[in-house]
Amino acid sequence: MKSTWLIKGIVVTALLVTTACSSLVKEISVNETSSGKQVEILENGSITITLDSNITTGYSWQLTGISDAEVLEKVDNPYESPTNGLLGAGSKEILNLKALKAGTTTLSIVYF
């Protein structure tokens, strides 16, 4: 089973001292509903991507590409253990990213 999840055009915008930046956020959390969408955050901000996953099946989410690694970097990729205590139960995989500077980049994330 191979599933591709893609956030197109993650836009990282530097903080400007104008009212135009009032809509930009320092931190944003997204999930599979954001696939193919553009998000905007402030420079030095963070993006948290939370996706359904079950690493006990041998599958996990892999960051396969950041089109401009000078704009965005992966910080970590933890897995939340299932809360129901059932053997083989699925849970959530989290991908934490940091905006390094203003720019645009595209992420490719694949479940395999």
Domain residue limits, the chain: 3-111
User: pLDDT 10s digit of each residue in the chain, 112 long?
Assistant: 455 555 544 444 443 333 445 567 889 999 988 888 888 888 888 999 999 998 888 889 989 889 889 999 999 999 988 888 787 888 999 999 999 988 888 888 888 8
Q: Has this prediction a pTM greater than 0.95?
A: no
Cβ contacts of 42 within 8 Å, gap of 6 or more: 12, 13, 14, 15, 21, 24, 25, 26, 99
Class of the 3-111 domain?
A: mainly beta
